[in-house]
Structure 1
């Protein structure tokens, strides 16, 4: 697992870290997931959750109230309550608070059974987990999905973020998303931030949570420091 920080611009601190799967030779998530066969998805999904919780329990400073964001594959979850057992056991074994865990719908995965996804969200919320839609506005994560499921948080896809400072169309789209999210009491996070200009426009639009290379690149089994344009750095490890 590699970890990438999520920055809270309102509080001026790191809000949490996303755990990102990596291959043994540093391959990215897409490369790794493309090699997971359908019959292996469940075991792989469970192993990733356990590993992320184990590492977070070792790396997260005790004094910080940080969220651990874990990607999951809805189509790998056969029964929500049963599939959470490994998560419960890992949290208990490593002394990690369940309330600090956020589950994201895995990027680019089509929801084959909406009713099943609703059951997953309901079950996860019952146990205090935060739920999030990743890559919102691209691929399968659009307004239809938001209308059917109201997660706690949505992550605006980097395809919308990229170059937003010079695109009135992108600014209008983000403004609409923020307005809808506010009406539904959903937190908005902008991911893929690479420039100060993108950050400034999105912050002015009312977004408080951010993630992207401008803040920090993911680091393998480490918590990277958060920096702004490689100048001011905040050390956030214990």
Structure 2
């Protein structure tokens, strides 16, 4: 329990931060599926302004503090009891999954936020030191009833091999594969293949970084139902932004 103990006893972080929230839209239901909590500086600066300050010794403390802030803030803002909260986490900042999740569960109880509505995102965009450790986190979180998501899919180191090993509940397709997909046959073929593969694996696909109706149209045709991006709404600091564009429900959905 060494690192978890150090996390709980660590001094305060030498910087302050806040959370921004961006909606995840379910076009098949014409509704908001949930929100992603995004780290921001105290005045709304981008995540890099905070992450670039982190030292190795602060990772555990920051990961815990960010989760707690996201959950407690969502508890105040969310009025839909079914809305999910997606939280990014650092796999290397989790020493033992069951022990390190306790502060998150306590925050959910304080905020009266349903723990079953929590989703934890990890990224393949940074090389993982110990894939077996990440696999243990995913398995543990699933047993605890949380959703798990692989972020930036298609942009990182491990790709399909990591997907096969971890089999998360959801994959978020990297925005570089989304951008201008309506004019790229290669991207259309790749996304269609990913969507088909995910269906066979019973994994939900979310397209993030959607910025135009043209992109959305192609992605919907591929069978994708969950979306996130500036086309719908930009992140709002410590608040829930209104939806700029809510597409009509997918008529192909039974």
Question: Structure 1 stretch 135-144 or stretch 214-223: which is displaced more?
Answer: 135-144
Which of the numbers 8, 17, 31 marks the counterpart of 2:35? Answer: 17
Question: Structure 1 stretch 73-82 or stretch 21-30: which is displaced more?
Answer: 21-30
**Contact 1:215–1:228 under 8 Å retained in 2:** yes
- Residue in structure 2 matched with residue 30 of structure 1 by the alignment: 48
Which of the numbers 1, 8, 21 marks the counterpart of 1:3? Answer: 21
CA RMSD, 1 decimal: 1.5
What does 1:1-238 align with in structure 2 at a 5 Å threshold? 1-61=19-79, 63-106=80-123, 108-140=125-157, 142-228=159-245
> Which structure would you say has the larger Rg?
2
**Contact 1:8–1:15 under 8 Å retained in 2:** yes
TM-score by length of 1: 0.93
Give structure 2 stretches of 5+ with no counterpart. 1-18, 249-254
**Contact 1:161–1:192 under 8 Å retained in 2:** yes
Change (3 A) 1:65 1:181: same
Find the residue that maps to 2:40 and give its secondary structure.
Answer: coil
TM-score by length of 2: 0.87
Q: How big is each residue's C-alpha offset from its partner over 1:71-108, in whole Å with a ceiling of 9 and x where there is no partner?
A: 00001111111110111111111111110100000463
Change (3 A) 1:111 1:142: same
Question: Hey, what's the Cα distance between the residues in 2 that align with 1:166 and 1:9?
Answer: 22
Give structure 1 stretches of 5+ with no counterpart. 233-238
Counting matched residue pairs gives 230
Deviation of the 1:64 alpha carbon: 4.2
Structure 1 residue ranges, 4+ long, deviating more than 4 angstroms after superposition: none
Q: How big is each residue's C-alpha offset from its partner over 1:90-127, in whole Å with a ceiling of 9 and x where there is no partner?
A: 11111111101000004632211011001100111111
**Contact 2:209–2:228 under 8 Å retained in 1:** yes
